[in-house]
Amino acid sequence: MAHHKSAKKRIRSNEKKRVENRYYAKTMRNALRDFRALEDKAVATERLPKMVSIIDKLAKRSVIHKNKAANLKSKLQKKVNAM
């Protein structure tokens, strides 16, 4: 149990950040699932920049690792190209 005022604040802020990060990560995973279910190349090509933007924002905020972001973007681009 924390005894210092700053340590108590750190616990509160860490919990708030953890909940926000989980929300954004889950939102990204849901968007990925929906994107992977697409079968029309025109629609997928149109949505790809938005997906890349979402992934880049999470990597920038360290919600996901930068290498994971690169792998996800690469796989999405391969999927669109293979359609």
Per-residue pLDDT reduced to its tens digit, 15-57: 999 999 999 999 999 999 999 999 999 999 999 999 999 999 9
Take residue 5 and report the two structure tokens written for it. 């005022």
Whether 61 is in a domain gets the answer yes
Whether 15 is in a domain gets the answer no
In angstroms, what CA-CA distances link 61 with 33, 35, 54, 65? 22, 22, 11, 9
Which pTM value belongs to this model?
0.82
- Total domains in the fold of the chain: 1
55 exposed, middle or buried (CB, 10 Å; 0-12, 13-18, 19+)? buried
**Which pLDDT belongs to residue 1?**
79
Alpha-carbon distance 35 to 5, whole Å? 45
Domain span holding position 37: 21-82
Whether 62 is in a domain gets the answer yes
Whether 13 is in a domain gets the answer no
